[in-house]
């Protein structure tokens, strides 16, 4: 394990910019609008030869007990509890504000090793840096996260804390354990269907902000977790609305972050609202997951409020069969993230889908099946001659991808390809998994021409 460092400070002092600088890529959304970050997010950081786990947190601000601002601060407090050291950022150009002083006192009371960082120190910011000494957190480290200035000074200030934490962890663990590769699992859906509540219920902690307000989640937030000893990287994402409704710059950034999470996931859970199941936008998201070739499981949340459950489930399955034939047999799990009912069925369905997504079928078995499939329903005639599919092999997994060698591949109708795909799902137990079929023109082994 590595040391953990949390980045904290009031809104709009550059915490996410520094986070992106340390992890070496734009993981966190950055915008001039204050309060973009709400949940804390994590990444693997490097600074010189230092390697550590870094947490980007919501801006520290004061708010009423039940307000979103207060809930954001509670998330920051959770991040601090996990941290071995803290980077407390102030804006060197703006100088020290009353809010900076308030939270500097708050940090001192929490007793975490703290490095005071004066960000945006490019140009004339000497007055703000001098003011920072009054916070009583030691010498401020002037940097510019945006322009990559002052990183060597930050390295010197942070190194003692990283070394001390790493030594303590190594002593406590008594040796290192080989890391297992976690399952990358994205949780997606429309706004306010209960994605963050579902993640919190799965991990058994209030890790993510939830509430009645739509659109609370803005970033794709990754959470490390273990299910029955198996490592999982849960990725909670921002809700996807219909494209014409996405106008604000920040929401466009959130949507791009969600699409990137789907692209890099292995399995995806599409969360539906039981009171408005499989609306057009739900189908759009499901098709997007299929186009990206990810394993899909559908979770119907708020199932506890449905009165005629059997009728609703039959209606959902009929709609899936008509509107998503390319994902025939996709697993549907009904649950309530609020109460936890049915939640135990979700992860077995996810791992079953991921196993099918990774399945490899031996070539001899494939070709025996292909011969039987063609005997059962031969390919159509083209110009009075029967098309022949001579050979089949699996070219790849993740998703299962097959190469078919035919006499005239360009003439094989899509309907016949669909027939083969559906038959494969039944024969090789591939329900709901995207299946790719590539048609190739193979050399005729009976052709005597040289």
- The stretch 81-104 carries a mean pLDDT of 88
User: What is the number of domains present in the chain?
Assistant: 3
**Whether residues 391 and 340 fall in one domain:** no
Q: In this predicted structure, what is the pLDDT of residue 268?
A: 96
Are the C-beta atoms of residues 406 and 442 closer than 8 Å to each other? yes
- Among 144, 173, 202, which residue terminates a domain? 173
What is the rounded CA–CA span in Å between residue 124 and residue 138? 21
Q: Given a cut of 80, is residue 442 above it in pLDDT? A: no
Q: In this predicted structure, what is the pLDDT of residue 243?
A: 60
- The stretch 95-121 carries a mean pLDDT of 87
**Whether residues 340 and 195 fall in one domain:** yes
**Whether residues 194 and 323 fall in one domain:** yes
- pLDDT above 90 covers a percentage of the chain that reads 35
Q: Given a cut of 50, is residue 445 above it in pLDDT? A: no
pLDDT digits (tens, 9 = 90+) for 351-385: 999 999 999 999 999 999 999 999 999 888 877 77
The confidence band for 41, taking pLDDT boundaries of 50, 70 and 90, is confident
CA-based torsion, 418, 423, 424, 429: positive or negative: positive
- The H-assigned helical ranges of 24-150 are 68-82, 98-110, 126-131
Q: Residue 285: phi, psi to the nearest 5?
A: -65, -45
**Whether residues 377 and 329 fall in one domain:** no
pLDDT digits (tens, 9 = 90+) for 242-298: 665 555 555 566 677 788 888 889 999 999 999 988 899 999 999 999 999 999 999
**Whether residues 66 and 159 fall in one domain:** yes
**Whether residues 197 and 308 fall in one domain:** yes
Which CATH number covers residue 429?
A: 3.30.300.20
Give the pairing of strands 389-396 and 385-386: unpaired
The reply to whether 447 falls in a domain is: no
The confidence band for 179, taking pLDDT boundaries of 50, 70 and 90, is low
The confidence band for 387, taking pLDDT boundaries of 50, 70 and 90, is confident
**Whether residues 279 and 199 fall in one domain:** yes
**169 or 57, higher pLDDT:** 57
The reply to whether 436 falls in a domain is: yes
Q: In this predicted structure, what is the pLDDT of residue 207?
A: 65
**Whether residues 126 and 11 fall in one domain:** yes
Per the structure, the complete domain to which residue 386 belongs is given by 363-441
**Whether residues 158 and 187 fall in one domain:** no
- Among 116, 139, 173, which residue terminates a domain? 173
Are the C-beta atoms of residues 57 and 7 closer than 8 Å to each other? yes
pLDDT digits (tens, 9 = 90+) for 135-146: 888 889 999 999
Q: In this predicted structure, what is the pLDDT of residue 74?
A: 67
**Whether residues 226 and 304 fall in one domain:** yes
- The stretch 206-214 carries a mean pLDDT of 57
The confidence band for 333, taking pLDDT boundaries of 50, 70 and 90, is very high
pTM greater than 0.85 = no
Surface-to-core class of residue 312, CB atoms within 10 Å of its CB (0-12 exposed, 13-18 middle, 19+ buried): middle
- Among 357, 388, 421, which residue terminates a domain? 357
Q: In this predicted structure, what is the pLDDT of residue 290?
A: 93
**Whether residues 165 and 35 fall in one domain:** yes
What is the rounded CA–CA span in Å between residue 342 and residue 354? 20
Which CATH number covers residue 264?
A: 3.40.50.300
**Whether residues 164 and 245 fall in one domain:** no
**27 or 23, higher pLDDT:** 23
- pLDDT above 70 covers a percentage of the chain that reads 80
Mean of pLDDT over the chain: 82
The reply to whether 446 falls in a domain is: no
Are the C-beta atoms of residues 64 and 40 closer than 8 Å to each other? no
**DSSP state letter for 39:** S
The reply to whether 450 falls in a domain is: no
């Amino acid at each position: 394990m590595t040391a953990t460092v949390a980045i904290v400070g009031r809104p709009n002092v550059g915490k996410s910019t520094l986070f992106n600088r340390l992890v070496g890529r734009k993981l966190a959304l950055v915008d001039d609008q204050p309060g973009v970050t709400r949940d804390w997010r994590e990444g693997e950081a490097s600074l010189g030869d230092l390697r550590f786990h870094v947490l980007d947190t919501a801006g520290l601000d004061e708010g009423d007990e039940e307000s979103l601002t207060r809930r954001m601060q509670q998330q920051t407090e959770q991040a601090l509890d996990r941290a071995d050291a803290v980077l407390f950022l102030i804006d060197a150009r703006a100088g020290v504000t009353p809010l900076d002083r308030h939270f500097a006192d708050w940090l001192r009371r929490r007793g975490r090793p703290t490095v005071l960082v004066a960000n945006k120190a490019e140009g004339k910011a000497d007055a703000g840096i001098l003011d920072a000494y009054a916070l009583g957190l030691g010498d401020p480290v002037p940097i510019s996260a945006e322009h990559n200035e002052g990183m060597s000074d930050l390295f010197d200030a942070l190194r003692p804390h990283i070394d001390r934490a790493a030594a303590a962890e190594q002593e406590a663990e008594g040796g290192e354990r080989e890391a297992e590769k976690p399952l990358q699992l994205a949780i997606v859906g429309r706004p306010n269907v209960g994605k963050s509540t579902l993640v919190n219920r799965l991990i058994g902690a209030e890790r993510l902000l939830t509430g009645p307000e739509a659109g609370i989640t803005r970033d794709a937030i990754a959470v490390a977790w273990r299910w029955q000893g198996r490592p999982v990287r849960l990725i909670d994402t921002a809700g996807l609305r219909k494209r014409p409704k996405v106008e604000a710059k920040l929401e466009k950034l959130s949507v791009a972050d969600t699409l990137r999470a789907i692209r890099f996931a292995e399995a995806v859970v599409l969360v539906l609202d039981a009171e408005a199941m499989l609306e057009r936008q739900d189908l759009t998201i499901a098709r997007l997951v299929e186009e990206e070739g990810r394993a899909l499981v559908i979770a119907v949340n708020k199932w506890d409020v449905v009165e005629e459950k059997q009728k609703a489930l039959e209606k959902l399955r009929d709609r899936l069969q008509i509107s998503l034939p390319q994902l025939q047999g996709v697993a549907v799990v009904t649950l309530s993230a609020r109460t936890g009912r049915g939640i135990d069925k979700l992860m077995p369905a996810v791992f079953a889908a991921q196993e099918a997504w990774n399945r490899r079928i031996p070539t001899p078995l494939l070709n025996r099946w292909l011969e039987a499939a063609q005997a059962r329903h031969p390919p159509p005639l083209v110009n009075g001659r029967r098309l022949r599919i001579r050979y089949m092999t699996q070219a790849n997994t993740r998703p299962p991808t097959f190469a078919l060698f035919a006499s005239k591949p360009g003439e094989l109708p899509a309907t016949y390809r669909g027939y083969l795909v559906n038959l494969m799902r039944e024969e090789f137990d591939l329900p709901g998994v995207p299946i790719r079929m590539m048609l190739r023109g193979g050399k005729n082994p009976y052709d005597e021409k040289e």
